[in-house]
Amino acid sequence: MPFSSIAKMGKSRKRVDVLKETPGMQDRRMVQNTVLEVIKERRTVRKYRKQNISDSDLNKILEAARYAPSAGNQQPWEFVVIRDELNKKRISYACFDQAWIAEAPVIIVVATNTILSTSKYGHRGDKLYGVQATAAAIENMLIAAESLGIASAWIGAFSERAVSILTACPEHVRPCAVLTFGHSDEKPIVPSRQELKEFVHQEHFGKVEVKDDRNHEIF
């Protein structure tokens, strides 16, 4: 069977190799179900076992980032992989002392390369596309990790300056997220989600009617 079934059974995490092979039509339906399940199963996990992440699994997570979309295919992202205990402690301190971060076997600092993000698209690339592409890469990584039975967290609260210095990022490489990865026995409950009807709008935002004369103004 090309794809193993859904990611979780009770507390134990099972591998789901969604990245592995090109499926036939029947398999594709299974993959769709599996991908949606994995997306829903992913949680922010803040407690990890000591167990290391294999290089092979880490490469799969980084490969998932590689295939993220980016404006003009600029791929404006950089990743610093941190496994050293002292470096992890320093990073957790730079994340305003979120001590649990240092317990993860792998930390990845994700940064936007602003030379790449601005080269084609200037200000818009800098303010918008670079961050969007980097965020797409991050989400790919978290979903890939989940599919491999590896827990993760996305940390946004950190001193950019401190993380820059600790990772020796040059000025044009701007840290935008700290990610943690590790095996875990934790399975946090799903934090509440809004209903679709609360944030999905049909044709226009809310119930506002767009009049013809306004259309003329826009176009």
- For 13, the enclosing helix (H) or strand (E) is strand 12-13
| Secondary structure E strands in 32-124 | 77-82, 106-113
Place of tokens 């240092």: 102
Map residues 124-153 to x or -, x wherever contact with ligand FMN holds by CB under 6 A.
Answer: -----------------------------x
Q: Give the x-and-dash track for 51-90 against ligand FMN (CB under 6 A).
A: ----------------------------------------
Residue 43 sits in the site that holds ligand FMN (CB under 6 A): yes
CB of 160 to ligand FMN, least distance (A): 13
Structure tokens of 109? Answer: 């600092």
Work out how close the CB of 214 gets to ligand FMN at its nearest, in angstroms, rounded to a whole number: 34
Q: For the residues of 101-132, what is the DSSP string, one character each?
A: GGGSSEEEEEEEEHHHHHHTTHHHIIIIIHHH
Q: Choose among 110, 144, 108, 113: nearest CA to 129.
A: 113
- Which residue in the shown chain puts its C-beta closest to ligand FMN? 156
Q: In angstroms, give the least distance from the CB of 179 to ligand FMN.
A: 10
Task: Report DSSP state, residue 100.
Answer: G
**Site residue total, ligand FMN (CB under 6 A):** 11
Shortest Cβ distance from residue 156 to ligand FMN (Å)? 3
Tokens of 87: 């470096």
Helix (H) or strand (E) holding 9: strand 8-9
Asked whether position 9 contacts ligand FMN by CB under 6 A, the answer is no
Count Cα atoms within 13 angstroms, Cβ side, for 172.
9
Interacting positions 155-194 with ligand FMN (CB under 6 A): 155-157, 188, 191
44 near ligand FMN, rule: CB under 6 A:
yes
**How near is the Cβ of 98 to ligand FMN at its closest, in Å?**
6
Helix axes 160-167, 85-94, angle to 10 degrees: 160
What does the per-residue mask of binding to ligand FMN show for 97-116, with x meaning CB under 6 A? -x------------------
Binding site for ligand FMN (CB under 6 A): 43-44, 46, 98, 153-157, 188, 191
